[in-house]
Amino acid sequence: MKRTPTLFEAVSPIVVMLLLLAIGYGVFKLNPEPLLILASIYAGAIALRLGYNWEDMMDGIREKIDQAMPAILILISIGILIGTWIISGTIPMMIYYGLQIIDPTFVVLIAFVVSAIISVVTGTSWGSAGTVGVALMGIATGLDASLPATAGAVVAGSYFGDKLSPLSDTTILAPITAGSELYEHIKHMLWTTIPAAIIGMIVYLIAGFNLSSGNVTQPETVDAMLGTLTEMFDMNILLLLPPLIILYGAIRKKPTLPMIIFSSIVAAMLAKFVQGFSATDIFASAVSGFDASMVNRPGFDSENVLEEVTRLVNQGGMESMMGIILIAFSAFIFAGIITKSGSLEVVINALMKIVKRTGDLVLSTVISSITMGLVTGNSYLTIIVPGEIFKDTYKSMKLKAKNLSRTLEDSGTVVVPLIPWSSAGVFMTGTLGVSTMSYAPWAIMCYLGFIVAIILGYTGIGIAKMEETEQTVHGSTSGKSVH
């Protein structure tokens, strides 16, 4: 006989999951996937205690995976897109021209802008910081500028691009978890990201007035990167076709997956007929990612390619997305069980007694996501776990899913690099040579984003409400995700 869980029974699986992740992943650095499976086993034991059998739990898991499958297909296709955009020369050309706008006069402001441009183009914050970020730190050293300020601007710029790039894994994951649409999610993030970025740039501009006049030449590393890119790829205006296809699809609200595949096909053709790559290399780049060793040009030696260049171009492919998909599937197993057993509904009802306004809900989401970041240091989990917990609460308050996906990125994706023990914090410190606590105050966009999100939540500005038709559909689905 099935029964409704008590509050303790409903909350305990979430507590067990947090403890497993905090100790197993946070302390002992164990892989998160098995820890999520262990939490699912405990959640399954609670479900059995409540009278649910294995088939019931499997139904819950299947429902979660079924809801997420269209977005997961997009995630896989983005891997193809990145691989083909690189081998076609599209991404390298964007990097090439982006690097040339570096002006050392206002190094802190330029550090933010250039890092943001490269990150939007590549979809990777780490790649941006580890390449142009390092070059910008060299400029700052030559100018005797503030290294913590420059590093903070690089981190903020890198995560600005990571957050708004349709090629970014976290940008794709947030709408998958919340149940929103990729380009609607990106557009909705402008409400919080642009004000935070503008305030940051004003601060960087003011800081730049106290720096040298900028009569320092462009560092040798940047010149070498530009030279290497021109050796590897032919720069051609046709290489803008793949991103223009994506831009057209976004503006015209075309289905995302077909536009990504079409753009990838055009990029593959450019790789063949403009860059001269073989069909074997093009398919390999789409599956396992591009590698500089694929370049076969007279006088070019792939063994001597700058590390800064390989960091940017050796990426992409479907396989690059498998790690995040495994984490997502493991989390969906847990979410499917606690949803089917009624535990999540009990937790939501308890939350609703505390959460009275939209601002309260946004604040609760921010606190949960940041807590997950502090506990695990993993940007994926700061999105997936709070997303699954709060998804139905947003629906019950007649708020569109893109409000949740935006808040998850505002308080998850961009906050993790400010946590010293997170993988992102460790990477940025090691790469830029400045401690996390030193650059954190200057990574202005990373913490202003969630502050703006909370303000918008309480004022109602930039909050998307469900239409009457959406509310009707929601009511008829008994709390299940609507697509």
**Secondary structure class of 399 (helix, strand, coil):** strand
Q: What is the band of 218 on the pLDDT scale with cuts at 50, 70, 90?
A: low
Average pLDDT taken over every residue of the chain: 87
Q: Which two tokens stand for residue 426?
A: 């460790």
Please choose, from the candidates 337, 365, 315, 301, the residue with its C-alpha nearest in 3D space to the C-alpha of residue 119. 315
- Least confidently predicted of 5-14, 109-118, 282-291, 467-476: 467-476
Q: What is the band of 374 on the pLDDT scale with cuts at 50, 70, 90?
A: confident
Residue 213 reports pLDDT greater than 50: no
Note the pLDDT of residue 201. 96
**Residue 140 vs residue 216, higher pLDDT:** 140
Q: What is the band of 383 on the pLDDT scale with cuts at 50, 70, 90?
A: very high
Q: Give CA separation, 139 vs 132, 143, 151, 220, 227, in Å.
A: 10, 6, 11, 10, 19
Q: What is the band of 127 on the pLDDT scale with cuts at 50, 70, 90?
A: confident
Phi then psi for 399, rounded to 5 degrees?
Answer: -110, 140
381-410: burial string, b at 16+ Cβ within 10 Å, e else: bbbbbbbbbbbbbbbbbebbbbbbbbbbbb
Note the pLDDT of residue 483. 29
Phi then psi for 465, rounded to 5 degrees?
Answer: -95, 155
**Residue 471 vs residue 369, higher pLDDT:** 369
Mean pLDDT of 55-80: 88
CB 294 within 8 A of CB 285: yes
Per-residue model confidence as pLDDT tens digits over 256-268: 889 989 999 999 9
CB 352 within 8 A of CB 396: yes
Residue 243 reports pLDDT greater than 80: yes
pTM for the model: 0.79
Please choose, from the candidates 202, 197, 212, 203, the residue with its C-alpha nearest in 3D space to the C-alpha of residue 106. 212
**Residue 327 vs residue 235, higher pLDDT:** 235
Note the pLDDT of residue 217. 52
Mean pLDDT of 179-193: 94
CB 411 within 8 A of CB 453: yes
**Residue 164 vs residue 106, higher pLDDT:** 164
Distance CA 15, CA 24 (A): 14
Q: What is the band of 389 on the pLDDT scale with cuts at 50, 70, 90?
A: confident
Distance CA 120, CA 76 (A): 18
Distance CA 186, CA 165 (A): 8
Residue 475 reports pLDDT greater than 50: no
Q: What is the band of 180 on the pLDDT scale with cuts at 50, 70, 90?
A: very high
Q: What is the band of 175 on the pLDDT scale with cuts at 50, 70, 90?
A: very high
Per-residue model confidence as pLDDT tens digits over 280-304: 999 999 999 999 999 999 888 888 8
Residue 481 reports pLDDT greater than 50: no
Q: What is the band of 480 on the pLDDT scale with cuts at 50, 70, 90?
A: very low
In DSSP notation, 190-224 reads HHHHHHHHHHHHHHHHHHHTTS-----PPPHHHHH
Per-residue model confidence as pLDDT tens digits over 13-51: 989 988 998 899 878 888 889 999 999 999 999 999 999
CB 110 within 8 A of CB 347: no
Q: What is the band of 100 on the pLDDT scale with cuts at 50, 70, 90?
A: confident
Q: What is the band of 482 on the pLDDT scale with cuts at 50, 70, 90?
A: very low
140-166: burial string, b at 16+ Cβ within 10 Å, e else: beebebbbbbbbbbbbbbbbbbbbbbb
Mean pLDDT of 401-423: 92
Q: Which residue has the tokens 């193809």?
A: 80
CB 446 within 8 A of CB 157: no
CB 134 within 8 A of CB 221: yes
